[in-house]
């Protein structure tokens, strides 16, 4: 038998929230409201079980396997572990059958019950739902109890509308940023910075203003992220700069520069000491070490080797209208400006492609590919056509 069980009960039918999905499923910086409501409770009980208020059978099974159990509600995400600890200590030291902390306005509450006593009262009253009203009714029916009133307006907030959700998000955000800064990273403007709970930021990394870091992103040491950047589920190496750019589900190696205005789409794997410049889009591609893609280029479904130079305006033409095809560019190659690489195609190591070429066939090693018409000059064409600009 478990000595103590933690239950997070979902009982929010708030019409004030105005949403097609449950309040508890809404996100606060990487976790749902429900997950936040259970996280601190799990520190005390080892695990917090989430349960619908009308799932009375499962509730009885969980409670019946414990000596005591603590209740938090799924729309109370800010209750601290110390509060649950204090509640449990009061309950044990006073020998109560039940103890509660209830906010001054009566909206928020947490409870601890002796399990056997609770189940007896549940059966006697014929209660079939662990709603907030019914739990309060059971609490009131027990003689040996202690009700503690709390004036803490921060912890005891109930997320019952979008305003309360915003307040809760602000509190969680402050706690996360404090943890990040105390771990050795610099957050230049906390008011405009959002970092999810699952993200890890390395020592001496600087987070510039207007930056959002989401999911399980890991940023190494000595990097600069931002300003005006969004990083989602990425692994960013050491001494990396990501400026004014967006990256999803990608990795970036050490000493690489991304941006400004670059876009790393899911599945991009960028190597070390790489330059991904302005208005460059990478999609589901591997970019080798020391490669430079400096501006105005699209690289999709490709393997690009090491020490490759890709000029301005290059397009990896990866879609034929039905299928996505792959391009391979070998090490030490040079791709001139305004080149179209029509997939599937292979450019071997140490090859050069002349500017303005459209490449549809394999380019051999150490060769130059030119795929464009010879220049034609028509003398006096402008005069004959009367197109002279005034």
CATH of the domain at 234: 2.160.10.10
Q: Which residues are catalytic?
A: 295
Does 33 lie in the same domain as 136? yes
Residue 95 confidence class, pLDDT cut points 50, 70, 90:
very high
Domain hosting residue 259, numbered range: 162-383
Q: Total structural domains in the chain?
A: 2
Report the half-sphere exposure of 162 (CA within 13 A, side-chain side).
3
Residue 389: inside a domain: no
Does 214 lie in the same domain as 152? no
**Per-residue model confidence (pLDDT) at position 69:** 96
Mean per-residue pLDDT of the chain: 95
Residue 35 confidence class, pLDDT cut points 50, 70, 90:
very high
**Per-residue model confidence (pLDDT) at position 6:** 96
The tens digit of pLDDT for each residue in 295-323 reads 999 999 999 999 999 999 999 999 999 99
Name the percent of the chain lying above pLDDT 90.
Answer: 92
Does 315 lie in the same domain as 269? yes
CB-based contacts of 79, cutoff 8 Å, min separation 6: 37, 40, 41, 72, 110, 155, 156
Between 135 and 16, where is the model more confident?
Answer: 135
Reading across the β-sheet that carries 145-150, which strands appear in turn? 48-52, 2-10, 66-73, 109-114, 98-103, 145-150
Rounded CA Rg of the chain: 30
Q: Provide φ and ψ at 345, rounded to 5°.
A: -155, 155
Does 169 lie in the same domain as 78? no
Does 167 lie in the same domain as 19? no
DSSP line for 33-76: HHHHHHHHHHHHHS-EEEEETT-HHHHHHHHHTEEEEEEEETT-
Does 140 lie in the same domain as 181? no
**Per-residue model confidence (pLDDT) at position 382:** 87
Q: Residues 112, 117, 118, 119: is their CA dihedral positive or negative?
A: positive
Report the half-sphere exposure of 350 (CA within 13 A, side-chain side).
3
Angle at 315 between CA 303 and CA 330, to 5 degrees: 30
| Dihedral, CA of residue 78, residue 82, residue 88 and residue 89, to nearest 10 | -160
Of the candidates 266, 265, 234, 232, the residue with the CA atom closest to the CA atom of residue 252: 234
How deeply is 303 buried, as exposed, middle or buried, from its count of CB atoms within 10 A (0-12, 13-18, 19+)? middle
Residue that is last in its domain, among 132, 156, 180? 156
Residue 53, number of CB atoms within 10 A of its CB: 21
Report the half-sphere exposure of 373 (CA within 13 A, side-chain side).
3
What CA–CA distances, in Å, run from 223 to 176, 185, 242, 244, 252? 19, 10, 8, 14, 11
Does 290 lie in the same domain as 354? yes
3-state DSSP assignment of residue 208: coil
Residue that is last in its domain, among 136, 156, 176? 156
**Per-residue model confidence (pLDDT) at position 13:** 62
Residue that is last in its domain, among 156, 177, 209? 156
Residue 142: inside a domain: yes
The tens digit of pLDDT for each residue in 165-222 reads 999 999 999 999 999 999 999 999 999 999 999 999 999 999 999 999 999 999 999 9
């Amino acid at each position: 038998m478990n000595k103590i069980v933690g239950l997070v009960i979902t009982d929010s039918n708030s019409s004030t929230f105005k949403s097609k999905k449950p309040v508890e499923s809404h996100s606060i910086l990487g976790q749902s409201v429900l997950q936040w409501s259970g996280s601190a409770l799990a520190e005390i009980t080892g695990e917090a079980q989430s349960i619908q208020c009308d799932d009375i059978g499962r509730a009885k099974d969980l409670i019946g396997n414990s000596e005591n159990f603590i209740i938090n509600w799924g729309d109370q995400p800010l209750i601290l572990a110390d509060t649950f600890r204090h509640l449990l200590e009061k309950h044990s030291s006073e020998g109560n059958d039940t103890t509660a902390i209830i906010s001054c306005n009566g909206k928020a509450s947490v409870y601890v019950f002796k399990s056997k006593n609770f189940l007896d009262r549940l059966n006697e009253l014929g209660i079939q739902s662990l709603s907030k009203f019914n739990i309060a009714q059971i609490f009131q029916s027990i003689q040996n109890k202690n009700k503690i009133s709390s004036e803490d307006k921060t912890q005891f907030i109930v997320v019952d509308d979008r305003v309360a959700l915003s307040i809760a998000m602000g509190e969680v955000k402050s706690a996360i940023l404090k943890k990040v800064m105390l771990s050795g990273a610099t957050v230049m403007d906390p008011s405009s910075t959002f970092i999810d709970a699952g993200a890890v930021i390395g020592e001496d990394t600087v987070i510039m203003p207007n930056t959002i870091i989401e999911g399980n992103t890991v940023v190494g040491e000595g990097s600069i992220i931002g300003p005006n950047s969004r990083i989602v589920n990425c692994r960013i190496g050491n001494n990396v700069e990501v400026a004014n750019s967006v990256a999803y589900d990608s990795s970036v190696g050490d000493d690489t520069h991304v941006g400004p205005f670059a876009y790393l789409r899911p599945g991009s794997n960028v190597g070390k000491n790489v330059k991904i410049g302005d208005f460059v889009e990478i999609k589901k591609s591997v970019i080798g070490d020391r490669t430079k893609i400096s501006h105005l280029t699209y690289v999709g479904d490709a393997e690009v080797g090491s020490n490759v130079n890709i000029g301005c305006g290059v397009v990896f033409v990866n879609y034929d209208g039905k299928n996505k095809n792959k391009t391979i560019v070998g090490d030490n190659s040079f791709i001139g400006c305004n080149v179209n690489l029509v997939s599937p195609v292979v450019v071997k190591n140490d090859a050069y492609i002349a500017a303005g070429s459209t490449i549809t066939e394999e380019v051999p090693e150490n060769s130059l590919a030119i795929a464009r018409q010879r220049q034609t000059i028509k003398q006096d064409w402008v005069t004959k056509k009367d197109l002279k600009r005034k």
